[in-house]
Structure 1
């Protein structure tokens, strides 16, 4: 294996440690903090000249701080003559700002962030479950978008308390994801929730396509934000006879009133991954579990460093 150097910002320290352990290396020695005026302070405290460097940093909340940490770390490593720099961004913030709906006077911030990373000196990006896969095209450097679904599916298959399970997509846009997961769950039945969203972070369940009566429903999505959509979906499923509702998602954004929403008894369990750390408030609910993607991300890093195929990781 080439000389891999693994560095981490302050966004996902536990995930970074787990990835390092699975690669049998130590995290690089770097100071990532703040000056007294709040500006980001970065210093690389070891030789990285010619090394294959990977920076692990989700751009989750506080989004702007974590993004700037990543940007400044890239610049520091580039000026220290790193051979190649890969930004490992398990959760890519701003991904939902990927288009101008009806030509509204709004930015395409996902493109702005992609340009920012490319211009500062990132050679490659490794991310997980982008909100929209076409965001890869916003970058001027190669992007590997891996998937958390194998880890989620493995957990679902281990569950012994699911009877007559049915995979449910929380909206029309998630049908492809739900269908792929249902296929891997022994061709499980599917249902779709057709909803209308009058404004950001507010949704209204309108109609359920499929018979969920007497079924244990598995809601699958790429992320959970405030949880409002999830709760309305769970309530609608229970009203139509579902016996249990378990939600699976890769990214635990959990902003705003998420803790209050997830406490709703219509949701029996919520399973996410560690691309974003859970707050103490969320942990206190005792119904949210976080699976680790460290093995998958470590394997992706190993393959990138060895110039091996990433897509082969997900070949059926």
Structure 2
């Protein structure tokens, strides 16, 4: 082995704390990180790598629950001087616990409390703490429209006060919420490249051509995302805007009266609807139905988070009727097995991107290439073209 200068100096030995809410994704991230480090070591050909290569970087930890619902975080190995990354999925409603003999599902509030418990267990012994929260806690309550709480900003400030130095999330509903924590790192990454790659590789009949494919934004809030998709794919973009009844509030929202479309003709074209998430799915269903009435061909939907809070019966119905052809969504939040088994669902794996993020942050490398994948998307399309 040739001697060479030190080219990789980590901020500290990396350690990953994976919450139960993120177990499957965390295992994939850990595997990719271990493979990446071994590959880098072989490429560098250096005995001065300054990092012990491991098969796993996951820290042995646990959250213990008492019968009255209280809990505590426990670390079963040393984290002193390590660069710690805490990974948690606050949207995982499949995790359950017993309280007074009753089985309860964990809410986003419970998951966020567990993040704070683990930071408390670290007790300042780690060299640096970063939190990777793929779906941002309280991200839907990110701005104040009247006399109401500002939960997301308060949560971010709590993490800052607990000593967290970096917060990473994906497709934040409103990135300006980072103004609440201007002195620490906050990055919102995107799943655009992985979704486009999955679409092109799995949908053979899909043609990325301006005359055959149109990008649609389901509302004004998703317009920037739709414009980005359209720009990198070289397509036209259309917009639906929601006319709401501001005299009523149903389930915390003003009900939608009608969706109005603005844009070029959709007749005879495939359509790609893009958004950050599907909650109940009603907006997407209404838009897909109207697009079919305008003689659109195949309708595809691409989101980072597919929640379907009201169940997937209607999605099954729209697939069987030929209204929606395929839904692309990431594994950044919990996906029930019945979603994965559905013919209309295509899972997009994000674990390799997160492993790369951890590796780069640990070595204080620039993560700019991970924040803007435009060149990567164009090279992929040229290769496929």
How far did 1:254 drift? Answer: 2.4
How far did 1:281 drift? Answer: 4.3
- Residue 39 of structure 1 is matched in structure 2 by 70
Query: Is residue 2:298 matched to residue 1:254?
Result: no
Query: Is residue 2:78 matched to residue 1:50?
Result: no
Query: Is residue 2:212 matched to residue 1:212?
Result: no
Report matched runs for 1:51-200 at 5 Å: 51-60=82-91, 61=93, 62-79=107-124, 81-101=125-145, 104-139=146-181, 140-158=183-201, 159-163=203-207, 164-185=212-233, 187-198=234-245, 199=249, 200=253
**TM (normalized to structure 2)?**
0.77
**TM (normalized to structure 1)?**
0.93
Select the structure of larger CA radius of gyration: 2
How far did 1:284 drift? Answer: 5.0
Closer/same/farther in 2, CA of residues 37 and 201 from structure 1, 3 Å limit: farther
**Unpaired runs of at least 5, structure 2:** 1-9, 35-55, 94-106, 376-385
Equivalents in 2 of 1:285, 1:138: separation in Å? 40
CA-to-aligned-CA distance 1:221-274 (integer Å, 9 cap, x gap): 11111111111111111111111111000122322x141332232222111001
Closer/same/farther in 2, CA of residues 183 and 56 from structure 1, 3 Å limit: same
Closer/same/farther in 2, CA of residues 296 and 38 from structure 1, 3 Å limit: same
Aligned residues: 311
Equivalent residue of 1:11, what SS?
A: helix
CA-to-aligned-CA distance 1:19-72 (integer Å, 9 cap, x gap): 101111332100124222222231000110010000001221421111111111
Closer/same/farther in 2, CA of residues 201 and 82 from structure 1, 3 Å limit: farther
Answer whether contact 2:267 2:296 (CA < 8 A) is retained.
yes
Answer whether contact 2:200 2:206 (CA < 8 A) is retained.
no
Equivalents in 1 of 2:270, 2:301: separation in Å? 11
Equivalents in 2 of 1:202, 1:93: separation in Å? 24
Closer/same/farther in 2, CA of residues 196 and 282 from structure 1, 3 Å limit: farther
**Unpaired runs of at least 5, structure 1:** none
How far did 1:124 drift? Answer: 1.2
CA-to-aligned-CA distance 1:195-244 (integer Å, 9 cap, x gap): 22445284331234221111111111111111111111111111111111
Equivalents in 2 of 1:121, 1:252: separation in Å? 32
How far did 1:96 drift? Answer: 1.4
- Residue 22 of structure 1 is matched in structure 2 by 32
Equivalents in 2 of 1:312, 1:288: separation in Å? 29
The equivalent position to 1:291 in structure 2, one of 348, 351, 366, is: 348
